[in-house]
Amino acid sequence: MSERTETGLVVAVSGHRELADREATVVALEEAISAIEQAFPRQTYRLLSPLAEGADRLAATVVLLRPLWKLWGILPLPVEDYHRSFSSTASRSEFDALLKKTQKTLVLRPPTDRTEAYRKLGIYLVNHCHVLLAVWDGLPARGPGGTAEIVEHARKRGLPLALVRPDGGLPETYGPIFERFSPPMLTPREDPKIDGNDR
């Protein structure tokens, strides 16, 4: 195994709320995160997650079980407002429990338009990470700030991508798909600057 460098690696997650097969998606996320560690050996890793329902929370749960990883919550709206986007009381409780496990939580400065807040969140995640982990069905974006739009922004920036299907992948294509996923493609740079309002 390659020697781990002292510089930390920042990974952002984006993905669908509705997942066809949660268990298969978790397995694929674990494989993707292991591949990130192997391709980019670091002493520490940070996952930026909005902690929305679905993929964001699954990825957060996976990294919380890994000793080298820290979880940062990056929220598009203040918590009380963000709560209204969740489907149930149980979902809000799950969000609150994960929020308590974050090393740091940042609330982005929200625009007046809620839809724009989600679009700006996606751009922010891509602009503040070294690698994008996306749980994406491969279909066009269904609205502003959708996973497809975020993946496209990451591709334009030349970021390494780990793409996971929301069902874990069909049998013939099971597991994550990697783009620009070798150390020479990861341009050394300063740790992405994180700004926003601390909770």
Q: What is the pLDDT of residues 77-120, one digit of tens each?
A: 999 999 998 989 999 999 999 999 999 999 998 767 888 898 89
- Any domain includes 3: no
Mean pLDDT of the chain, nearest integer: 83
Q: Own/partner pairs for 177-180, CB < 8 Å, 24+ apart?
A: 178/35, 178/39, 179/155
In the prediction, which pLDDT does 78 show?
A: 92
Q: Which residue has the higher pLDDT, 45 or 178?
A: 45
- Any domain includes 172: yes
Position 150 confidence tier, pLDDT thresholds 50, 70, 90: very high
- Any domain includes 62: yes
- Count of domains for the chain: 1
- Any domain includes 4: no
Judge if pTM exceeds 0.95.
Answer: no
Determine the structural domain holding residue 25 and report its residue range.
9-198
Position 70 confidence tier, pLDDT thresholds 50, 70, 90: very high
In the prediction, which pLDDT does 104 show?
A: 94
* CATH number of residue 18's parent domain: 3.40.50.450
Q: Beta partners for 177?
A: 163
Position 192 confidence tier, pLDDT thresholds 50, 70, 90: very low
- Any domain includes 94: yes
Q: Answer whether residue 4 shows pLDDT above 80.
A: no
Identity of residue 179: E
- Any domain includes 2: no
Q: Say if residues 77 and 71 touch (Cβ distance below 8 Å).
A: no
